């Protein structure tokens, strides 16, 4: 075990070379945020592939009206574990565990995360939580089968007696603690380890979004953890928090779950908003349009997100419809500001349609579709009509597929910084078109199916001419998305250590592009003077220095 | 540090106002309690930062004209590598598996967790001399 005492980058012993373990022991013992972030990235992408494979099975089952690929019981497991893996084990950990872990310290000029061992612990909790949840497939009763939202009373020991349900709860507990530790570590890092001159209003938008995400994590995740402990007690210790039989209230689970679940939507989305913002600015060769407006929009989204949870519960009949409807509709305002600012950043820019930029534009369009259909769902009369139909499934798949597009953009953009090598752009662009077109072909028929009344979570459906065709088209879209994922894997193989990236391949603006690719053990050999939110750009282009935002800061 | 404090206090105030409207209008307790707790969770660190920011000198990272030299000096001790996060993670893994597969798994779970806590603490003390 070695301890590296760090002085600031101008100190003479700031960059001691690290002589730690090598091989497997290096991965087990590392406290370097970049290697931990890489472990997160690899694990999250494996989860994406597993969750994606389950999605392909679901779409294969639904490609015909009376599919026999899986049994009804297996279908319940499929949609439960597909949703659980994608939300709990891929999108979230990828957003605030993988790229955030690698990029945030680099963007603020920090040598590491504030609590490096704590940082390593959260990865091991995430990995063991993921394994715990997946172990359900290998138990006698199969994996959890009550939907990713785990509504009471479907989760009671009577309705879900197997070990799969307990493994689902246990896995969520571990990944939940991992997320809470992430929140603590990100806030401590951003508040205490910024480089001199990196004031709050000079931080890149990605880092700002991660700060707000971390605050939301600390507000939301403990509620879920508490709910899971109550659920486990109901199942095994004879309590009746969520069961009517003993005087409990099943709808309480929905309150607790969605009090976590809706902020979770923004916990998932805000990091990807940040990624898209960085990418769009770099490939438009412009500063972010409305920098402070973007930050205030992010804070507003976070503030409103704690007051919208029951729009998932309109049809329960026990929630205050006008309050939740107004709050949900209000979120469209800051989100709209973001969309206009992304367009404003591109406006009259010197656009470079790299794969990362295409992915970000694809994100913008797909997220707009998902966001607009979300406005319909915030209206109780429309929600009553479409609740639990494929319209809702299409809405949130537009949103999460937009996040997948942004995630891919992030990998193409920051991958070279992490590995030192670029990915092949031709294969990347082919991947983009398949992913983007596949997403629309996959989701659009689902919107129509939902409006025609097709309920979600059905393994078979009536032999209605429209429904069969629309489901078949949607399944084709899912296949296109699957092929795009294979292209990504192919790209990694084809490009493996082939195209050296250099330190700043995109002529980018923020501090992570000032250091080497990959960065040294404690990140920086030197730092530039920081006078705007684009220190690397200012250093490389002294003739086009940014206008500072910081004139009235303290 | 003032902006950090104001960010948390603004969120706390907003949650407080939202909580007041929601609780008096809906009379629903679960959401009211959760919003109220959210408000407290923002006020606790936010008010501490505000109190502290009025008593401290501006840090180099809060100074828009700071040079890199102004931040020179000791930052902290960052362990280069440590096995104990992995050991503690595996301890937690076994404890959770004990909830499903049998109480006996608590034995290796707690053994690993205690080893990690003792080892990690002594490791931190060794590395924190400067």
Fold for domain A24-540? Cytochrome C Oxidase; Chain A (1.20.210)
pLDDT tens digits for chain A (554 residues)?
Answer: 444 555 555 444 444 456 677 788 888 998 889 999 999 999 999 999 999 999 999 999 999 998 899 999 999 999 999 999 999 999 989 988 898 999 999 999 988 899 889 999 999 999 999 999 999 999 988 999 999 999 989 999 989 898 999 999 999 999 999 999 999 999 999 999 999 989 999 999 999 999 999 999 999 999 999 999 999 999 999 999 999 988 899 999 999 999 999 999 999 999 999 999 999 999 999 999 999 999 999 999 999 999 999 999 999 998 999 999 999 999 999 999 999 999 999 999 999 999 999 999 999 999 999 999 999 999 999 999 999 999 999 999 999 999 999 999 999 999 999 999 999 999 999 999 999 999 999 999 999 999 999 999 999 998 888 899 999 999 999 999 999 999 999 999 999 888 888 899 999 999 999 998 899 888 888 888 888 889 998 888 887 776 655 444 44
Whether residue B74 is contained in a domain is answered as no
Pair of tokens at residue A108? 């603020």
Domain residue limits, chain A: 24-540
- Interface A-B, measured as beta-carbon pairs within 8 A, has a size of 226
The C-alpha atoms of residue B37 and residue A303 are separated, in whole angstroms, by 14
Both B56 and B88 in one domain: the answer is no
Q: Is residue B118 part of a domain?
A: yes
Cα A115 to Cα A34, A172, B62: the distances in Å are: 14, 23, 21
Q: In angstroms, rounded to a whole number, what is the distance separating the alpha carbons of residues B115 and A67?
A: 52
CB contacts, 8 Å: A303 with chain B: 10-11, 14-15, 18
Q: Is B113 helix (H, G, I), strand (E, B) or coil?
A: helix
Q: Give Cβ neighbours of residue B91 (< 8 Å, ≥ 6 apart).
A: B108, B109, B110, B111, B112, B113, B114, B115, B116
What is the separation of C-alpha A276 from the centre of its chain, rounded to a whole number of angstroms? 12
Q: Is A58 helix (H, G, I), strand (E, B) or coil?
A: helix
Q: What residues of chain A lie within 8 A of the CB of B35, using their CB?
A: 306-307
This model of the complex carries an ipTM of 0.92
Is B119 part of any domain? Answer: yes
Residue B129's closest chain A neighbor by CA?
A: A5
Closest Cβ opposite residue A550 in set B18, B30, B64: B64
Q: How many domains does chain B have?
A: 2
Is there a single domain that holds both residue B54 and residue B90? no
The whole-angstrom distance between A63's CA and the closest CA on chain B is 36
Q: Does B76 fall in a domain?
A: no
Answer yes or no: do B81 and A193 touch at CB < 8 A: no
Do B6 and B56 lie in one domain? The reply is yes
Number of neighbours of residue A491 by Cβ within 10 angstroms: 22
CA–CA separation, A314 and A281 (whole Å): 39
A11 and B96: CB-CB below 8 Å? no
| 3-62 in chain B: CB under 8 A from chain A | 3-4, 7-8, 10-11, 14-15, 18, 21-22, 25-26, 28, 30-31, 34-35, 38, 41-42, 58, 60-62
Distance from CA of B104 to the nearest CA of A (A): 16
Residues from chain B contacting residue A22 (CB–CB below 8 Å):
none
User: Residue B37 phi/psi, 5° resolution?
Assistant: -65, -40
The minimum CA-CA distance between A460 and chain B, rounded to whole Å, is 33
The verdict on B53 and B93 lying in the same domain is no
Q: Which of B21, B62, B84 sits opposite A554 (nearest CB)?
A: B62
Contacts with B78 from chain A: Cβ below 8 Å: 3-6, 31, 111-112, 116, 522
Do B88 and B56 fall within a single domain?
Answer: no
Kindly report the CA angle at A16 between A14 and A18, in degrees rounded to 5? 135
Report the length, in residues, of chain B: 130
Structure tokens at B34: 């959760």
Helix, strand, coil percentages for chain A (3-state, nearest 5): 70, 0, 30
Distance from the Cα of A16 to chain B's closest Cα (Å) equals: 11
Distance, in Å, from the CA atom of B50 to the CA atom of B2, rounded to the nearest integer, reads 6
Looking at the domain assignment, is residue B70 inside a domain? Answer: no
Identify whether B65 is part of a domain. Answer: no
Which element (helix H / strand E) includes A5? strand A3-7
Q: What angle do CA A312, A435, A274 make, to 5 degrees?
A: 60
Is the CB of B78 less than 8 angstroms away from the CB of A553? no
Q: What are the φ and ψ backbone dihedral angles of B63, each rounded to 5 degrees?
A: -95, 115
Interface test with chain A among B61, B72, B102, B117, by most A beta carbons within 10 Å? B61
Examine residue B45 and state whether it is found in any structural domain, yes or no. Answer: yes
In which domain, by residue range, is B48 found? 2-60
Give me the DSSP letters along A18-29: P----THHHHHH
> B111 at the A interface (CB within 8 A)?
no
């Amino acid at each position: 075990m070695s301890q590296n005492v760090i002085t600031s980058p101008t100190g003479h012993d700031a960059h001691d070379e690290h002589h730690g373990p090598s091989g497997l022991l290096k991965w087990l013992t590392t406290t370097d945020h970049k290697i931990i972030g890489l472990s997160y990235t690899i694990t999250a992408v494996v989860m994406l592939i597993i969750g994606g494979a389950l999605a392909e099975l679901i779409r294969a089952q639904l490609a015909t009206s009376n599919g026999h690929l899986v049994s009804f019981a297996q279908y319940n497991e499929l949609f439960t574990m597909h949703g659980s893996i994608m939300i709990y084990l891929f999108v979230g950990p990828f957003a605030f565990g993988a790229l955030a872990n690698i990029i945030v310290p680099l963007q603020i000029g920090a040598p590491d995360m504030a609590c490096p061992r704590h940082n390593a612990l959260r990865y091991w909790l995430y990995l063991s939580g993921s394994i715990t949840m997946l172990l359900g497939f290998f138990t006698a009763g199969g994996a959890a089968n009550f939907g990713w939202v785990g509504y009471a009373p479907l989760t009671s020991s009577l309705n879900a007696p197997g070990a799969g349900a307990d493994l689902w709860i246990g896995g969520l507990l571990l990944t939940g603690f991992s997320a809470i530790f992430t929140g603590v570590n990100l806030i401590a890092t951003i508040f205490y380890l910024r480089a001199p001159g990196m004031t709050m209003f000079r931080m890149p938008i990605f880092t700002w979004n991660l700060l707000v995400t971390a605050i939301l994590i600390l507000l939301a995740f403990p509620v879920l953890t508490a709910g899971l402990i109550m659920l486990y007690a109901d199942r095994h210790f004879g309590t009746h928090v969520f069961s009517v039989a003993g005087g409990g209230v099943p709808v309480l689970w929905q309150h607790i779950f969605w009090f976590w679940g809706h902020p979770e939507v923004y916990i998932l989305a805000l990091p990807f908003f940040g990624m898209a913002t960085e990418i769009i600015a770099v490939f438009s060769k412009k500063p972010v349009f409305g920098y402070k407006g973007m930050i205030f929009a992010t804070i507003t989204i976070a503030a409103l997100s704690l007051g919208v949870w029951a729009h998932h519960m309109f049809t329960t009949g026990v929630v205050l419809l006008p309050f939740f409807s107004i709050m949900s509709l209000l979120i469209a305002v800051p989100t709209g500001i973001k969309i206009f600012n992304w367009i404003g950043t591109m406006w009259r820019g010197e656009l470079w349609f790299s794969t990362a930029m295409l992915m970000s534009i694809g994100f913008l369009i797909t997220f707009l579709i998902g966001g607009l259909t979300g406005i319909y769902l915030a209206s109780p009369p429309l929600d009553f009509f479409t609740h639990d139909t494929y319209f809702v499934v299409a809405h949130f798949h537009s949103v999460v597929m937009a996040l997948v597009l942004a995630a891919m953009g992030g990998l193409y953009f920051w991958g070279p910084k992490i590995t030192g090598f670029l990915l092949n752009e031709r294969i990347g662009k082919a991947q983009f078109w398949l992913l983007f077109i596949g997403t629309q072909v996959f989701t659009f028929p689902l919107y129509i199916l939902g409006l025609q009344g097709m309920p979600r979570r059905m393994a078979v459906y009536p032999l209605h001419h429209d429904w069969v065709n629309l489901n078949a088209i949607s399944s084709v879209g899912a296949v296109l998305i699957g092929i795009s994922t294979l292209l990504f894997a192919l790209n990694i193989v084809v490009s493996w250590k082939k195209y050296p990236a250099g330190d700043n391949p995109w002529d980018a603006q923020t501090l992570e592009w000032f250091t080497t690719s990959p960065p040294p053990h404690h990140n920086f050999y030197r730092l530039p003077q920081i006078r705007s939110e684009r220190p690397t750009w200012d250093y490389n282009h002294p003739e086009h220095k940014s206008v500072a935002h910081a004139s009235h800061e303290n | 540090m003032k902006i950090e404090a104001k960010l948390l206090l603004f969120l706390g105030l907003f949650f407080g106002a939202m909580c007041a409207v929601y609780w008096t209008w809906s009379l629903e307790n679960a959401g009211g309690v959760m919003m109220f707790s959210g408000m407290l969770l923002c006020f606790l660190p936010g008010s501490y930062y505000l109190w502290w920011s009025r008593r401290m000198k501006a840090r180099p990272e809060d100074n828009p004209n700071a040079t890199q030299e102004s931040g020179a000096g000791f930052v902290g001790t960052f362990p280069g590598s440590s096995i104990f996060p992995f050991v503690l993670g595996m301890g937690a893994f076994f404890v959770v598996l004990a909830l499903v597969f049998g109480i006996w798994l608590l034995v290796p779970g707690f053994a690993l967790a205690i080893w990690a806590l003792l080892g990690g603490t002594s490791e931190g003390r060794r590395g924190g001399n400067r």
